[in-house]
């Protein structure tokens, strides 16, 4: 219904006037739009953040494997034991005060070794190693079951290297080193239990084990 009001000779048509006014969003519609856009932005940022975190973990995992393998290979390149010393796990007297690994000449010398940041054998710091650390353990194990530790020389040593970043375990590698043939010629290699012995933390980590005889 059209309502009019006369003012002198001028007639004001309210319905016609309202039709001529430009349309606009209400306050409620504006607030709703802002909330919707904000939610989409937050969701997008969370997706990007999750992707970045996943890529960083993958990169750290690969680097941790390289750091662990580097030191493990160095240990395996040494003699099974020092023929001039009584069998023991640890450094000999003249090696205790060494500031680098340059004088390490047998597997036992690396038992209990810890370093941060990772270095080459001559003490040179490895690239991209800030915040990283490496630890080595050498243990005599049963020739027929590498998960059973022994307190005497069995002819088989389990060598483990754990790489950590910011004190969080990232990678664990292990190898069995023998100085002579075992009785059966076969050594049991249950990988998961051994890696749990190396580093029982619940943090995800990559790992592996191999056998090297002398």
* pLDDT confidence band for 134 (50 / 70 / 90): very high
Average pLDDT over residues 14-20: 54
Query: Could you tell me the residue range of the domain that residue 184 belongs to?
Result: 53-213
112 within a domain of the structure (yes/no): yes
1 within a domain of the structure (yes/no): no
The Cα 121–Cα 103 span in angstroms is 9
- Please state the domain count of the chain: 1
* pLDDT confidence band for 197 (50 / 70 / 90): low
**Mean pLDDT lowest among 63-67, 108-112, 151-155, 198-202:** 198-202
Q: What's the mean pLDDT when you consider all of the chain?
A: 73
The model's pTM: 0.63
Express each pLDDT in 136-185 by its tens digit.
999 999 988 888 889 998 888 999 899 999 988 888 888 888 876 444 34
Average pLDDT over residues 198-204: 48
Could you give the C-alpha distances from 87 to 100, 155, 174, in angstroms and in order? 22, 11, 21
- Read off the DSSP letter of residue 110: G
Q: Is the pLDDT of residue 2 over 50?
A: no
Q: Is the pLDDT of residue 34 over 80?
A: no
Helical (H) or strand (E) element with 34: helix 27-76
7 within a domain of the structure (yes/no): no
Name the more confident of 98 and 77. 77
Q: Are 160 and 174 in contact (CB under 8 A)?
A: yes
Best CA proximity match to 209, nearest among 155, 172, 184, 183: 172
128 within a domain of the structure (yes/no): yes
180 within a domain of the structure (yes/no): yes
pLDDT score, position 202 = 43
Q: How many CA atoms lie within 13 A of 161 on its CB side?
A: 27
31 within a domain of the structure (yes/no): no
Helical (H) or strand (E) element with 144: none
* pLDDT confidence band for 67 (50 / 70 / 90): very high
Q: Is the pLDDT of residue 81 over 70?
A: yes
Q: Is the pLDDT of residue 38 over 50?
A: yes
Average pLDDT over residues 11-27: 56
46 within a domain of the structure (yes/no): no
100 within a domain of the structure (yes/no): yes
Query: What share of the chain has pLDDT > 90, as a percent?
Result: 21
Q: Is the pLDDT of residue 121 over 60?
A: yes
């Amino acid at each position: 219904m059209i309502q009019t009001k006369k003012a002198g000779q001028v007639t004001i048509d309210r319905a016609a006037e309202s039709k001529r006014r430009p349309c606009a969003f209400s306050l409620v519609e504006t607030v709703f739009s802002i909330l919707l856009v904000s939610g989409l932005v937050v969701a997008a940022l969370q997706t990007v953040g999750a992707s970045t975190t996943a890529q960083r973990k993958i990169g750290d995992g690969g680097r941790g494997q390289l750091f662990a393998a580097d030191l493990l290979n160095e240990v395996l390149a040494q003699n099974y034991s020092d023929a001039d010393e009584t069998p023991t796990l640890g450094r000999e007297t003249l090696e205790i005060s060494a500031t680098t690994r340059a004088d390490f000449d047998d597997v036992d010398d690396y038992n209990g070794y810890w370093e941060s940041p990772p270095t080459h054998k001559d003490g040179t710091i490895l690239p991209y190693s800030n915040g990283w650390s490496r630890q080595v353990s050498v243990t005599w194990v049963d020739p027929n079951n590498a998960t059973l530790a022994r307190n005497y020389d069995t002819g088989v040593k389990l060598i483990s290297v754990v790489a950590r970043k910011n004190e969080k375990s990232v990678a664990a590698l292990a190898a069995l080193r023998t100085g002579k043939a075992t009785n059966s010629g076969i050594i049991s290699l249950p990988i998961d239990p051994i890696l749990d012995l190396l580093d029982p933390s619940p943090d995800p980590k990559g790992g592996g084990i191999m056998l090297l005889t002398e």
